[in-house]
Amino acid sequence: MTSAHAVELARKAFLSEVAIPATTPVPKGLSEVVRVMPGMDPSGIGEAVCCIGAFDGVHRGHRFLFSQMLADARARGVSSAIVTFDPDPDELFKPVAAQRKILSNEDRVQFLRRFGATHVVVIPFTRELSTHTAASFMDDVIASAMRPVAVHVGSDFRLGFGNEGSVSSLAELGSARGYEVHGHELRYAGDEPVRATRIRDLLQAGAIDDANDLLCRPHFVRGTVGRGRHQGTEFGFPTANVRVTEPYVMPAEGVYAGFVDVHGVAYPAAINVGAPRSFASDDAGRFLEANLIGYEGDLYDQAVRVAFTRRLRPQRKFETLEELIAVVERNIAWVRDNLGAEGIAL
């Protein structure tokens, strides 16, 4: 029988459950998405308290910022808005090889809708927009979507061409324009602030427990199932070979426990990241394969999501086929014992 903990873990992994502070009244349904267009009428949203950021990962620090913004909006009796960008500004200024996304743009926007804000405002980020000063961004972009009464950001927030707009300079601008600017100290875990960069580094180091703790959910990636080496099937544990479809930050090579979401059902899975040492070759490249527990059917060409809940072991080379099979069977048994033996409806 699947445990309540496994059900909660699967639903958190794929964003079907979000823990919202008990003090935050959640409107029925999801936040309305407003995509900023030239010539918009700001009366559509009206007076609002907002927060601004890329919010990749939607991590613990972001959630604190949302809670402060929502409490302020509630106290003032006005709308609340999470303002973000699509695409993430990094996509314009970093080559694909340097991008390490925690969430795709669409997943990020859809996730932001679940935090209780009245609106999620999406600003199309372009090279032209990147040339705006902080003042012109606030006057021409933010003010085209709403009438801000307060803006909440992190204490290290920068805005405008060359990052010239700091929290203090934005506060001066807001004082002249009739809105407040609140810079919040970053949330800390241990001795370091919670940042997306820190989470990316943890993932790439294989510290999945620490990364997931800062994300408040298991990390996941999207991909499409393709045809692989078929060794798993020959050895008695068929696997889905997943081609990752975004420049996601991938966990370090190794074997993980987790879930694979197939059309709204999360199947417990033992997941291999990286070419297995026993079959590695010079052209192996990046590699992800998952053994789904409880799934029967053809997954070829299916779009799936793969979530990582625990690192079971690093990659290693096995001396014999029998040793490899025995270790893989133990990995699968751990997943079955701890995450269940059947799919979980999301």
90, 63, 2: which is closest to 217 by C-alpha?
63
Mean model confidence pLDDT for the chain:
88
CA-based radius of gyration for the chain: 22
pLDDT(319) > 90: no
Cβ neighbours around 125 below 10 Å, total:
19
Query: Does residue 87 have a cis bond before it (omega within 30 degrees)?
Result: yes
Q: Could you read off the pLDDT of 148-164 as tens digits, one per residue?
A: 999 999 999 999 998 89
* pLDDT for the residue 28: 55
Q: Which residues pair with 256 in a beta bridge?
A: 271, 311
pLDDT band at 239 (very low <50, low <70, confident <90, very high): confident
- Residue, of 5 and 19, whose pLDDT is higher: 5
Q: Could you read off the pLDDT of 80-92 as tens digits, one per residue?
A: 999 999 988 888 8
Please report how many Cα atoms fall inside a 13 Å half-sphere around the Cα of residue 88, on the Cβ side: 25
pLDDT band at 229 (very low <50, low <70, confident <90, very high): low
Q: What is the DSSP letter of 250?
A: P
CATH of the domain spanning 219-345, picked from 3.40.50.920, 3.40.50.720, 3.30.365.10, 2.40.30.30: 2.40.30.30
CA distance 104 to 73: 28
pLDDT(259) > 90: yes
Which helix (DSSP H) or strand (DSSP E) does residue 329 occupy?
A: helix 321-339
CA distance 286 to 208: 18
81, 152, 84, 90: which is closest to 122 by C-alpha?
84
Which helix (DSSP H) or strand (DSSP E) does residue 226 occupy?
A: strand 219-226
- Residue, of 202 and 282, whose pLDDT is higher: 202
Mean pLDDT in residue range 251-255: 95
Give the strand pairing for 288-292 and 240-244.
antiparallel
Residue ranges of the domains in the chain? Answer: 20-184, 219-345
Calculate what percentage of the chain has a pLDDT beyond 90: 72
User: How many residues are recorded in the chain?
Assistant: 346
* pLDDT for the residue 12: 93
Structural contact between residues 279 and 231, judged by C-beta atoms closer than 8 angstroms = yes
pLDDT band at 263 (very low <50, low <70, confident <90, very high): very high
Which of 69-78, 95-104, 226-235 is predicted least confidently?
226-235
117, 108, 68, 69: which is closest to 89 by C-alpha?
108
pLDDT band at 281 (very low <50, low <70, confident <90, very high): very low
Q: Which CATH class is domain 20-184?
A: alpha beta
268, 310, 312: which is closest to 290 by C-alpha?
268
List the strands of the sheet with 147-154, edge to edge: 32-35, 119-124, 79-86, 47-52, 147-154, 180-184
* pLDDT for the residue 231: 52
* pLDDT for the residue 44: 84
How far from 77 is each of 72, 80, 120, 345, CA to CA, in Å? Answer: 9, 9, 18, 37
Please report how many Cα atoms fall inside a 13 Å half-sphere around the Cα of residue 326, on the Cβ side: 6
* pLDDT for the residue 94: 80
Q: Could you read off the pLDDT of 90-145 as tens digits, one per residue?
A: 888 887 766 789 999 999 999 999 999 999 999 999 999 999 999 999 999 999 99
Token readout for 312 is 């079971």
Cβ neighbours around 277 below 10 Å, total:
14
**Identity of the residue numbered 242:** V
* pLDDT for the residue 234: 47
